[in-house]
Amino acid sequence: MLPNQRREKIFDLIREDGQAKVTDLSRIFKVTEVTIRQDLERLENEGFVIREHGGAYLKNIDMKVRNLQLQNQENMTQKMAIAHKAIEYIHDGDTIILDSGSTTTEIAKIISEYKNLTVITNALNIALILGAQAGINLIVTGGEFKAPTLSLTGQKAADFFQNLHVDRLFLATAGIALKSGLTYPGISDICVKRAMIESADEIYLVADSSKIGKNSFASLGALSLITCLITDSNITQEDIEWLNTNEIPFIIAE
């Protein structure tokens, strides 16, 4: 891996988890701690992170948490379109899981007028959006708090889904590729997402088209895990052909 590629992956990891330790990054990327410190120094000089003894943390993360702001706010117009398409697959009486993420947050914002809907989520911002809605029975997992995604993660969050059965899961991702499948920056999220998938009859992957063809750090598994991809109208013809060739069901939100 080239140094600039490694620094990009390091920043993706820090942006997802909020912080990282030099020793962990050295083990993950199989380079010396001196090299990692140089990478973090470069990222700090570029204004992305703040170094501290033994690691680094995300810049302005405390302010974003206090204001309940998600770190990832890119392609929001596309994410809102995906959300409006996604709610067409939610019905009265359903039990659904809303994964943490900016697109699933947009789904939560427009869920309304349901008379008997159960929503399970590991996202604290989604819980606050839905908590006072009449007609919605809200259930929140336990787990370790992750600041950039305002979510609960780790094995305790995953254990929550044992022996649960839901109608639909609306799943977030960072990357979609044929070889690596569904990928994420945060290792701690993998066990949670796997547990969510095992609990659900149908899995809708809600991901804007910029995620297609991208690889992130940790792999969840093959694209065959999902029932359908809901993406946006900016998807390229090349990506449409790729999805069709590999028989991956998808819906384009106009």
Encoding tokens for residue 30? 């199989």
In terms of domains, do 149 and 194 share one?
Answer: yes
User: Do 87 and 153 sit in the same domain of this protein?
Assistant: yes
Q: Are 187 and 174 in contact (CB under 8 A)?
A: no
70 within domain boundaries: no
- Give domain status of residue 109, yes or no: yes
Tell me the whole-structure pTM to 2 decimals. Answer: 0.86
pLDDT for the residue numbered 109: 95
User: What pLDDT does residue 112 have?
Assistant: 82
What is the total count of domains within the chain? 2
Q: Are residues 55 and 138 located together in one domain of the fold? A: no
In a domain, 97, yes or no: yes
Neighbours of 169 (CB within 10 A): 26
pLDDT score of 178: 83
**Start-to-end CA span in the chain (Å):** 38
With respect to residue 68, please indicate whether it lies within any of the assigned structural domains.
Answer: no
- For residue 42, being part of any structural domain is answered with yes
pLDDT at 71: 67
CATH number, domain with residue 156: 3.40.50.1360
Residue 159 belongs to some domain of the structure: yes
Residue 52 sits in a domain of what CATH number?
A: 1.10.10.10
Instruction: Give me the domain span that covers residue 100.
Output: 76-253
Residue 40 domain flag: yes
The residues that bridge with 151 in the sheet, in sequence order, are 123, 146
Same-domain check for residues 55 and 128: no
Nearest Cα residue to 200 out of 133, 120, 122, 116: 120
206 and 122 fall within a common domain: yes
Whether residue 7 is found in the same domain as residue 101: no
81 and 31, same structural domain?
Answer: no
Same domain membership, residue 233 and residue 167? yes
| Mean pLDDT per 10-residue interval, the chain, length 254 residues | 87 83 89 93 90 87 78 86 97 96 95 91 96 92 92 95 96 90 86 96 96 86 94 96 94 95
Note whether 10 and 111 are same-domain residues: no
Q: Are residues 46 and 159 in the same domain?
A: no
Does any domain span residue 238? Answer: yes
- Beta strand ranges found along 7-54 (DSSP E): 19-21, 49-52
Regarding whether 237 and 187 lie in a shared domain, the answer is: yes
Among residues 34, 59, 84, which one ends one of the domains? 59
Same domain? For 196 and 102 the reply is: yes
